[in-house]
Amino acid sequence: MNETDAHTREPQELAYLGLGSNIGDREHYLLEAVRLLTEHPQIVAAGCSGLYETEPVGYVEQEAFLNMVVAVSTTLSPEALFHEMLRVEHELGRKREIRWGPRTIDLDLLLFGDRVQNRPDLILPHPRMMERAFVLVPLVDVMTQREPLRAELFRERLELVEGKEGVLLWKKTC
C-alpha cells in the first residue's frame, strides 16, 4: 500500500449486531442473515457469539428464540449499516405485525464503535440492550474475543440484569 492509499481509505468501525429468530429453522435464519450481511463489500464478520436459546420477552405467547451477537468491521456509516440490516430482514421475510412478536429474523444495531446518538431513526447504543440478558450474554461472549476490557464493563452490567439464568447456550458457532 502506498502513502496515498493509506490516506484515502475509509476508517473501519467495529459494530455489534444482535440477531434473533423464533420462526421456522431459527439457526438457518441467523446464519443466513450473517451471510447476507457479509456479502456486502463493506461489511466483514469480525467474530460471533454462540447461539443462545431464550424465552420471549414482552409478547410471551410465542416460541423460544435463538439469539446471537455478531461483531462486524465496516466502513459504512451507522445509518447505512442499519439500512443494510433492514434489507436483510426484508429478504428473509421479516413481518412487523405484533410488537415483540414472532419473527423469522430480527436484527438490532447494538453498538457502533463508541458512537452515541439519539435520532428518531437510530439510537446508539441500542436503548434497551442494557436491560436484556438475551442481548448481554451473547454480547459479552463475542466482545470478550475482540475487546476484553470493554467486555468486562458489560459483564458487570449483566450481573445486575434479571433473567440471565434463562439464556442457555444452545450451540457454539465460530
pLDDT tens-digit profile, the chain (174 residues): 444 444 446 779 999 999 999 999 999 999 999 999 999 999 999 999 999 998 877 655 668 889 999 999 999 999 999 999 999 999 988 676 655 557 789 999 999 999 999 999 899 999 999 999 999 999 999 999 889 999 999 999 999 998 888 899 999 987
Active centre residues (catalytic):
94, 103, 106, 108
Give me the pLDDT at residue 3, please: 44
Strands (E), 84-154: 106-112, 117-118, 123-124
Q: Which residues pair with 117 in a beta bridge?
A: 124
CB contact at 8 A, 78 and 115 = yes
